[in-house]
Amino acid sequence: AADWLIADRGYDADWFRDALKDKGIKPCIPGRKSRGKAVRYDKRRYKRRNRIEIMFGRLKDWRRIATRYDRCAKTFLSAIALAATVLFWL
């Protein structure tokens, strides 16, 4: 269960926000520039979103993960775990 969903402007839609609120998830999505009424969001939380994107970028440096050579989901997950271990904890 998630408490927050942090996303970029591409996910800014009223129906999407309503669906998240129905499930008890708080959206942290800035409004599009073309939106008539400004939408409130947690700017501090949104700024920390780049950490997640940096992590995925570092994982995609591994060719095996970026191109998804492994057909089996279990093998692919183990390759991600191995890459994460090497990148972040060693």
pLDDT of residue 30: 93
Whole-angstrom distance, CA of residue 6 vs CA of residue 25: 10
pLDDT (0 to 100) of residue 89: 79
Cα–Cα distances in angstroms (integers) from residue 5 to residues 1, 41, 45, 84, in the given order: 11, 11, 10, 23
Question: Is 0.85 surpassed by the pTM of this model?
Answer: no
- What is the rounded average pLDDT of the residues 48-56? 86
Q: Determine the pLDDT at residue 1.
A: 83
The model's confidence at residue 68, banded by pLDDT at 50, 70 and 90, is confident
Confidence band, pLDDT 50/70/90 cuts, at residue 19: very high
Residue owning tokens 């920390």: 48
Amino acid code (one letter) for 54: I
* pLDDT attached to residue 36: 86
